[in-house]
Amino acid sequence: MNFGVEIDFSQTSVEELSDKFDRRENSPYLKDGGVIDLAKLRSEVSSFLNHLNTIQKLKSTQNNKQVAIAALCITEEIRFTASLEGDKIGGFSLSSMTPGKQALFALTLILDESDDAWPLLIDQPEDDLDSRSIYEYIVPYLISRKKERQILMVSHNANRGRKRPAQLDRDVYWRDAALCA
């Protein structure tokens, strides 16, 4: 599992700012497609403000002062990313993780980053995970941490008990409203 950080402008804030300009007019501060060129705007602030006050046409609902403030106050966003087995989640692009991989990522993150001695309750991990993921990632963790921490796992998978490694203590289940071991 690897973690990272991405810094960029959100697509929404760029679109909102771009939408303030009359895109029918040519502008040195609008790229093809009518999207604001933030790099050029930031490198030529005085020229941009002069252009905005003298030449640039705006939509009728906008005024120069509002657009200048919006353009100069737009800030980058910081987004965290993580990758697991080549798939990425977070950041500015869409996640490449399947729902099962996202569940495995979240569970792995919780299991690896928690050093608490409190009991850990895991409710139906097999809902989004395949058996391979459970037995390659989750079971080794349970085996390594069972001496330090009580771990309770709820499962509706009838086969889980049959494939359970001998290192795990026992299954507990309900039968006729009584707790059985």
Convert 121-178 into a string of H (helix), E (strand) and C (coil). Answer: EEECHHHCCCHHHHHHHHHHHHHHHCCCCCEEEECCCCCHHHHCCCCCCCCCEEECCE
Q: Could you tell me whether strands 2-8 and 77-84 are parallel, antiparallel, or unpaired per DSSP bridges?
A: antiparallel
**Domain that includes residue 122, residue range:** 98-180
Indicate whether 69 and 124 sit together in one domain.
no
> In this prediction, what percent of the chain has a pLDDT beyond 70?
86
Q: Could you tell me whether strands 2-8 and 178-180 are parallel, antiparallel, or unpaired per DSSP bridges?
A: unpaired
Confirm whether 79 is domain-assigned: no
Confirm whether 92 is domain-assigned: no
Q: In terms of pLDDT, which residue wins out, 179 or 153?
A: 153
Q: In terms of pLDDT, which residue wins out, 113 or 75?
A: 75
- Rounded CA-CA distance 181/175 in Å is 10
| Total domains present in the chain | 2
Quote the pLDDT of residue 41: 93
In order of 14, 45, 52, the CA distances from 64 in angstroms are 17, 14, 6
Q: Of 41-45, 167-171, 175-179, which one has max mean pLDDT?
A: 41-45
Please tell me whether the overall predicted TM-score, pTM, comes out greater than 0.75 for this model. Answer: no
Range name among 16-25, 78-87, 106-115 with the lowest pLDDT average: 106-115
Indicate whether 119 and 167 sit together in one domain.
yes
